[in-house]
Amino acid sequence: MSPRLWLLAALAIAGLTPRGFAQVELANLREDVRDLSQRVGALSLKVEQLERENADLRGKAEKNYVTAAQLRDAVADLNRAVNSAVASSRSETLQQVGAQMEKLAKQTNAALDSLAKAQATRPAITTTFKDDFPKEGISYTVQKGDSLPLIAKKTGAKVADIINANKIADASKIMAGQTLFIPTAPAAAIAK
């Protein structure tokens, strides 16, 4: 499995949003563009080197007393070689960029499909609450390390009654310092 696929899998497990995932992909694309820019820079250096060699040949031609026609032909040959090399490199670079973008698009689509499937299989959070809990009770301030079952055990209340009385959609989201109404039967309220 490629490093990018491992990264995509890690992002999916970490629960990154499609936007966060898109930012990672954008960073990858930026890195690819930077790499391409370096290649273009290298090609520019090659062109400069060929131009220097061309200038050297012109200097040698003058020293060897070549004819102007010979010099024109040599320059024309060099220009054709440079233009051919540039065109070939440009074409190759564009093909590589196209292939990389296609690969990234497929990986992005696969990751998005995976995230969509994971979201579709996630159980729905209950947002309907019953009103059949005791209306008498006590206030309880959540302590560090408390959970709803622990609070129910401490107070003698039922977990379902605590959830319904406080309209708690996600039991794992209670926080220390939070005050909850603990419904208790009249006898339990007296004992407390």
Q: Among all chains, which residue has been given the structure tokens 């020293």?
A: 63
> What is residue 186's predicted lDDT score, i.e. its pLDDT?
65
Same domain for 100 and 55? yes
Same domain for 8 and 82? yes
> What is residue 121's predicted lDDT score, i.e. its pLDDT?
66
Would you say residue 59 lies in a domain?
yes
> What is residue 114's predicted lDDT score, i.e. its pLDDT?
85
Phi, psi of 61 (to 5 degrees): -60, -40
Same domain for 171 and 101? no
Residues of the chain falling short of pLDDT 70: 1-21, 61-66, 120-126, 186-192
Q: How many domains would you assign to the chain?
A: 2
| CATH code (residue 169) | 3.10.350.10
Range of the structural domain that residue 65 is part of: 3-121
> What is residue 188's predicted lDDT score, i.e. its pLDDT?
46
Would you say residue 153 lies in a domain?
yes
Where a domain ends, among 91, 121, 151? 121
Would you say residue 126 lies in a domain?
no
Would you say residue 27 lies in a domain?
yes
> What is residue 190's predicted lDDT score, i.e. its pLDDT?
42
Closest CA to 115 of 10, 25, 4, 23: 10
Same domain for 143 and 53? no
pLDDT digits 0-9 by tens, 32-62: 889 888 998 899 999 999 999 998 888 776 6
Concatenating the DSSP letter of every residue in 120-164 gives HHSPPPP------S-S-EEEEEPPTT--HHHHHHHHT--HHHHHH
Would you say residue 128 lies in a domain?
no
Same domain for 83 and 21? yes
pLDDT digits 0-9 by tens, 116-139: 887 766 555 657 888 888 889 999
> What is residue 14's predicted lDDT score, i.e. its pLDDT?
62
pTM: 0.35
